[in-house]
């Protein structure tokens, strides 16, 4: 959520920077509501001043009986007016909050301008794509031939956009989970947590999923199935004040993730590139504002380390203003090369939200003893999306006979197995 005071004092700049996202959002209603709020507050304060003055006169009892009755009547009327104004102020502030909940974050000055993903800026490429002596297959073809991915049975159990892992497929998923958690806890110093996979409405509002993206969420009995572990982990510190020396705080979490994929009809209908349930290891940081962009760079490097150890070719792009996520001030996408699809695919998004989420969850820190608390900056990134990492391994490590070589870094997690052999 944006800072109301900052928006109102810098309305032209804010509208200009938000317009770079596309959509032509007008903040005029917000300015009008804030003006009404100030007028109500002024009336309220004037009445409170009059109430105090009349109360002191009434207490002195220097007036005659008729005057005291008039004072009593006026004080009663003032009390009623004050109560009405207080209720009006609450209504206006609720309307302001509801409006702000639909306003996206302001893009950072370093975000490249652009209208769509085609305008994203490539920052770096790491490694080289594999050179095959045969036409590489896509992951679903490989997985089905190996008997480790079963889309037909998953469809019978649940419907479209689900996958059933079997045998070495399930073991590979588990291996990647442990591999990623070990890297981030042992090498990068993140604290591992295992959060609930169901959260309340306030938690979804806190990280920006609601109300804007309600159509993307699965809801049941008043709970929401999490679209990412970012939601519960970030909300661990709702209404918390950190001491300055506690920051940065870094957490990693494995979770299942659930998304409706609304609006993706016809996209990636085969395989598991875009499914309703998938697993991820998520990285979340709480940092001081002055350090947040350095922390953003290191967050991306932490996620990249997984791909480097798996020896997978990838690139990092900075999302342009038109492709930037709702809550992000800046976002880097890490895109892995998929030879079966002959393209790069996002495998991690690393975002700096600045204080956008912190204002929603009221997460602050005290810069020094006795100083007024300030909002922290929050960051998050996939470290990595496990299903898409499996896609990358199957397509990049496929063998001419239909088998798949297991990356060296994963073999200790796979019982030292080196190859997933084709079914005879």
CB hemisphere CA count around 94 (13 angstroms): 6
> Per the residue annotation, which of 74, 145, 274, 309 is the catalytic one?
274
Q: Is 346 a catalytic residue?
A: yes
Residues 6+ apart with CB under 8 A from 230: 207, 282, 284, 380
> Per the residue annotation, which of 21, 259, 345, 360 is the catalytic one?
259
Q: Is 171 a catalytic residue?
A: no
Nearest to 194 by CA among 276, 258, 259, 251: 251
> Per the residue annotation, which of 346, 366, 411, 421 is the catalytic one?
346
Question: What is the helix (H) or strand (E) element at residue 254, kind and residue range?
Answer: strand 249-258
> Per the residue annotation, which of 292, 318, 327, 349 is the catalytic one?
349
56, with CB counted inside 10 A (0-12, 13-18, 19+), is: exposed
Q: Is 74 a catalytic residue?
A: no
- Strand, helix or coil for residue 309: helix
> Per the residue annotation, which of 37, 330, 388, 395 is the catalytic one?
388
Could you give the C-alpha distances from 150 to 30, 163, 341, 398, 417, in angstroms and in order? Answer: 51, 6, 20, 18, 22
- Long-range contacts of 128-136, Cβ-Cβ distance < 8 Å, separation of 24 or more: 128/313, 129/313, 129/337, 129/339, 129/396, 130/313, 130/339, 130/396, 130/397, 132/339, 132/398, 133/400, 134/400, 136/339, 136/340, 136/395, 136/398
Give the residue numbers annotated as catalytic, written as ranges: 259, 274, 346, 349, 388
């Amino acid at each position: 959520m944006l800072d109301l005071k900052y928006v109102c004092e810098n309305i032209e700049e804010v509208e200009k920077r938000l317009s770079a996202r596309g959509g032509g959002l007008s903040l005029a209603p917000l300015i009008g509501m804030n003006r009404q709020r100030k007028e109500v507050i002024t009336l309220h304060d004037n009445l409170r001043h009059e109430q105090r003055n009349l109360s002191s006169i009434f207490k002195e009892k220097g007036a005659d009986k008729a005057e005291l009755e008039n004072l009593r009547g006026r004080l009663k009327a003032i009390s009623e007016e004050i109560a009405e104004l207080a209720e009006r102020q609450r209504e206006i502030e609720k309307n302001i909050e509801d409006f702000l909940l639909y306003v996206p974050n302001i893009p950072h000055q370093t975000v490249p301008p652009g209208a769509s993903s085609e305008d994203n800026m490539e920052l770096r490429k790491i490694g080289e794509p594999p050179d095959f002596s045969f036409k590489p297959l896509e992951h679903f073809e490989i997985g089905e031939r190996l008997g480790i991915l079963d889309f037909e049975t998953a469809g019978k159990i649940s419907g479209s956009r689900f996958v059933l892992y079997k045998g070495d497929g399930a073991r590979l998923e588990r291996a990647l989970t442990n591999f990623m958690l070990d890297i981030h806890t042992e090498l990068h110093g993140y604290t591992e947590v295992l959060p609930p996979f169901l959260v309340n409405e306030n938690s979804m509002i806190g990280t920006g999923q609601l109300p804007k993206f309600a159509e993307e969420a699965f809801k049941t009995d008043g709970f929401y199935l999490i679209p990412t572990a970012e939601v519960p982990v970030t909300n661990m510190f709702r209404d918390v004040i950190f001491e300055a020396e506690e920051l940065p705080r870094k957490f990693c979490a494995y979770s299942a993730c659930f998304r409706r994929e609304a609006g993706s009809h016809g996209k990636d209908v085969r395989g598991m590139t875009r499914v309703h349930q998938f697993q991820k290891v998520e990285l979340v940081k709480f940092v001081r504002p002055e350090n947040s962009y350095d922390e953003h760079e290191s967050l991306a490097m932490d996620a990249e380390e997984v791909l480097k150890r798996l020896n997978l070719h990838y690139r990092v792009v900075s999302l342009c203003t038109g492709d930037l996520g709702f809550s992000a001030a800046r976002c880097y996408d890490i895109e892995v090369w998929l030879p079966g699809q002959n393209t790069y695919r996002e495998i991690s998004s690393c975002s700096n939200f600045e204080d956008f989420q912190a204002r929603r969850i009221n997460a602050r820190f005290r810069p020094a003893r006795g100083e007024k608390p300030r909002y922290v900056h929050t960051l998050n990134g996939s470290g990595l999306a496990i299903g898409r990492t499996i896609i990358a391994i199957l397509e990049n490590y496929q063998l001419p006979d239909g088998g798949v070589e297991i990356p060296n870094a994963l073999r200790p997690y796979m019982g030292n197995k080196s190859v997933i052999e084709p079914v005879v």
